[in-house]
Structure 1
Amino acid sequence: MNLDLLFYAAAIPAVILVGLSKGGLGGAFALIGVPLLAMVVPPMQAAAIFLPILLVMDAVALWAWRRHNNRPTLLAMLPGGLLGIAIGWATSAYVSVNVMRLLLGGISVLFATRYFIEAARSSRKAAPLAAPERPVAATLWGTLSGYASFVAHAGGPPFQIYTLPLRLDPLSYTGTSTRFFAIMNAVKVIPYFALGELGSDNLLLSATLLPVALVSTLIGARLVHHLRPALFYPLMYAMVLIAGSKLLYDGITGLG
């Protein structure tokens, strides 16, 4: 394809949005980034261009959040996440991505809406109690996250539906999320190569966008370091609501 201004006019804002998300500002920006790039290149090419960029962003985010992690949560969700990628690979030719977007979008919107309704009704100023770790739920939402990450780069909302009620410290939450999706993206390289999505042309385009990816990821990490829990959690739930709405919109328009 021609490396014209139209491509970079879409690609640079898309990479900035995903970089802010990777830095720790929630998954909604990432959901906007890939469709934005898909306005100027085919959707599968947009996903393929983004995967190497995501790997570099993951490396930067892992360094930025190297001291923060909730090991039990990460270990609880990883098996399901890997299973979800395997299911996505095995069923990639048969499953409707738009139906999956509708399902995840509806669940995410209901989840976030319930939080804001309960927050508005509550007269107490104390933060809600943290939910306990639940291995079965972790496996379920981890599987949905891995599957959605593989087929639609939409693994954030299922991950957040399980982890946000745990009320982890914001830094610990972000570090755990960073590790989970870094592993998911690294594993996705194998099936993406097998499906022929990572050709030299796409890799070259990815390389030209790496400086933007590095800077935007570091900015996102810096912003999260300054967010108090009282602001962090409403922001994360708002991101889930935005992401869910975007998934619903994409699913409806895709089926229509």
Structure 2
Amino acid sequence: MLTLDLYFFLVAGPAVIFAGISKGGFGSGAAFASASLLALVVEPGLALGVMLPLLMLIDVSALKPYWGKWDKQAGLLLILGAVPGVLLGAALYKVAEPDVFRVLIGVISIGFVLWQIASKRGMISAAARALPVWAGGLAGLVAGFTSFVSHAGGPPAAVYLLSKKLGKTEFQATTVLVFWVVNIVKFVPYAYLGMFTVQTGIANLVLAPFALLGAWLGVKAHHLVPERLFFALTYVLLSVTGVKLIWDGLT
């Protein structure tokens, strides 16, 4: 059960602002840290249920500036692959205990940090040539699954899109398009599985201004805050949160 007390909002408010800043100014890759933070104070399914409508609100606010600037083929491949990935995540949620999702979210959090560090150090690089069509579908499948279980579909989608050597705006626009659609697709199984409640709806209404504020701050911070500093703080946050979730899930 979700208890809308002061403790919840002290965690949720900053978490939602962080998601807005990430999507509004620094890409969407780190936005899922908000769900990881909420999973520390409420059951993981409810944490995901609280965040999805807020992420959709942020998606809509970020969609207009990039409308029509995406790579249609790459976007379509990722979306088509993501749909069965979402269904796979829904099937797992239906049979798994909450602790399984705590561990999954924790592992994905730490995996994201390791993936980013490896990318920065040149241990992982974009493919010399564009990956084949089937790789786009596979990346979409993984993105759909990780997006369902932790709102963390960014890294697998990025691997495929980086291989396409898209321009900065085209890359961002394609990412915005893909996860706008994926989040809409996720809404149906989330509702069916009971991840939305009266309490999550009330939380969404209260937290919506935080989401919009975060998106606005993200645009401003994009020009003021060094990207390196922002992501360094994100990696520390995700590492600590990931370890705590894995510990809680296993013990």
TM-score interval, smaller chain? 0.7 to 0.9
Task: Find the residue that maps to 1:118 and give its secondary structure.
Answer: coil
2:158 to 157, 160, 167: 160
Q: 1:24 to 1:185 in 2, by over 3 A?
A: farther
Name 2:122's counterpart in structure 1.
118
Task: Find the residue that maps to 1:40 and give its secondary structure.
Answer: coil
Q: 1:83 offset after TM fit, Å?
A: 1.2
Question: Contact conserved, 1:157 with 1:243, CA < 8 A, in 2?
Answer: no
AA aligned to 1:116 is K
Distance 1:151 1:2 in 2: 22
1:86-127: CA deviation from partner (whole Å, max 9, x where unpaired): 1112232345436655775676556444433338xxxxxxx9
Name 1:124's counterpart in structure 2.
none
Does residue 42 of structure 1 match 2:43? yes
Distance 1:72 1:235 in 2: 34
Question: Contact conserved, 1:149 with 1:155, CA < 8 A, in 2?
Answer: yes
Moved more, 180-189 or 71-80: 71-80
Distance 1:250 1:236 in 2: 21
The number of equivalent residue pairs is 244
AA aligned to 2:73 is P
Name 1:51's counterpart in structure 2.
52
Distance 1:235 1:172 in 2: 25
Q: 1:80 to 1:198 in 2, by over 3 A?
A: same
Does residue 249 of structure 1 match 2:250? no
Q: 1:193 offset after TM fit, Å?
A: 1.2
Distance 2:230 2:132 in 1: 21
Q: 1:163 offset after TM fit, Å?
A: 2.1
Question: Contact conserved, 2:24 with 2:215, CA < 8 A, in 1?
Answer: yes
Moved more, 15-24 or 28-37: 28-37
Moved more, 135-144 or 215-224: 215-224
Question: Contact conserved, 2:24 with 2:217, CA < 8 A, in 1?
Answer: yes
Mark the runs of 5 or more structure 2 residues left unpaired by the alignment.
none
Question: Contact conserved, 1:27 with 1:239, CA < 8 A, in 2?
Answer: no
2:141 to 132, 140, 143: 143
Q: 1:132 to 1:236 in 2, by over 3 A?
A: farther
Q: 1:70 offset after TM fit, Å?
A: 1.8
Task: Find the residue that maps to 1:30 and give its secondary structure.
Answer: coil
Mark the runs of 5 or more structure 1 residues left unpaired by the alignment.
120-126
Name 1:175's counterpart in structure 2.
173
Name 1:23's counterpart in structure 2.
24
Q: 1:220 to 1:170 in 2, by over 3 A?
A: farther
Distance 2:229 2:158 in 1: 12
Question: Contact conserved, 1:61 with 1:218, CA < 8 A, in 2?
Answer: no
1:12-52: CA deviation from partner (whole Å, max 9, x where unpaired): 10001111222252445323211222333332222111111
> In angstroms, what is the RMSD of aligned CA positions?
3.5
Q: How does 1:46-125 map to 2 (within 5 A)?
A: 46-94=47-95, 96-97=100-101, 100-101=104-105, 104=108, 108=112, 111-118=115-122
Q: 1:243 offset after TM fit, Å?
A: 9.0
1:220-248: CA deviation from partner (whole Å, max 9, x where unpaired): 24555x59xxx98x899979977985786
Moved more, 238-247 or 130-139: 238-247
Does residue 190 of structure 1 match 2:185? no
Q: 1:53 offset after TM fit, Å?
A: 1.0
Question: Contact conserved, 2:130 with 2:165, CA < 8 A, in 1?
Answer: no
Q: Percent identity?
A: 31
Q: 1:139 offset after TM fit, Å?
A: 1.1
Q: 1:68 offset after TM fit, Å?
A: 2.7
Give the TM-score taking structure 2 as reference length: 0.79
Question: Contact conserved, 2:82 with 2:143, CA < 8 A, in 1?
Answer: yes
